[in-house]
């Protein structure tokens, strides 16, 4: 655990939210769940790398209900993760997009916040079309230092 953290610090940016999302690690199926502290740290890293001199006052995230990420945990980790960064004291706003599925059998679309989704036609062969996102939607800054 400590070794993994040290390695990540040596290679800033190697562990971005975008990468996590693309890799499918945040797919919500639970077989490989990244801890919320690591997610929160990668969000903070992502913002500080793109806005190194900014004083951030608000960060708005989208954490889909099917993302497998616990919003209360991210909210809990945000304060400690932002200490001694440009995000210290920033407000965190989290949108939680609902899950949405499309049935491959009958093409119907329906809402579901459960990965165990069954279409009205009886098929479980469904694609998730919304609700798995983990995105930084907006960053509000108070001018550059």
Of the candidate residues 56, 66, 103, 134, the single one contacting Zn ion (CB under 5 A):
103
Q: Residue 43's closest CA among 90, 72, 82?
A: 82
Site map for Zn ion, 62-101, x if CB under 5 A? ----------------------------------------
123 binds Zn ion (CB under 5 A): yes
82 vs 97: CA distance, rounded Å: 24
Which span (59-67, 90-98, 114-122, 134-142) binds Zn ion, by CB under 5 A?
114-122
Closest separation in Å from C-beta 128 to Zn ion: 14
Number of other residues whose CB lies within 10 A of the CB of residue 134: 23
- Tokens describing residue 76: 């809990």
119 binds Zn ion (CB under 5 A): yes
105 binds Zn ion (CB under 5 A): yes
Closest CB to Zn ion among residues 53, 127: 127
Residues 84-101 as b/e (b if ≥16 CB within 10 A, e otherwise) read eebbeebebebebbebbb
Of the candidate residues 14, 111, 121, 129, the single one contacting Zn ion (CB under 5 A):
121
Closest CB to Zn ion among residues 56, 103: 103
Using the structure block, give the residue that is written with the tokens 């980790």.
77
Closest separation in Å from C-beta 130 to Zn ion: 17
Decide: helix, strand or coil at residue 44: helix
56 vs 84: CA distance, rounded Å: 12
CA neighbours closer than 13 Å in the CB half-sphere of residue 37: 4
In the complex, which residues of this chain contact Zn ion (CB under 5 A)? 103, 105-106, 108, 119, 121, 123
């Amino acid at each position: 655990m400590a070794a993994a953290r040290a390695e990540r610090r040596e290679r800033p940016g190697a562990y971005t939210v975008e990468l996590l999302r693309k890799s499918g690690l945040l797919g919500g199926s639970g077989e490989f769940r990244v801890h919320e502290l690591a997610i929160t740290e990668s969000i903070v890293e992502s913002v500080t790398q793109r806005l190194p001199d900014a004083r951030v006052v608000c960060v708005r995230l989208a954490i889909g209900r099917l993302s497998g990420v616990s919003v209360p945990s991210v909210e809990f980790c945000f304060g400690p993760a932002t200490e001694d960064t440009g995000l210290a004291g920033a407000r965190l706003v989290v949108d939680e997009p609902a899950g949405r599925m499309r049935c491959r059998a009958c093409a119907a679309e329906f809402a579901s916040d459960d990965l165990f989704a069954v279409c009205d036609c009886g098929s479980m062969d469904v694609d998730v079309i919304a609700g798995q996102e983990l995105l930084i939607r907006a960053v509000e800054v108070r001018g550059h230092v």
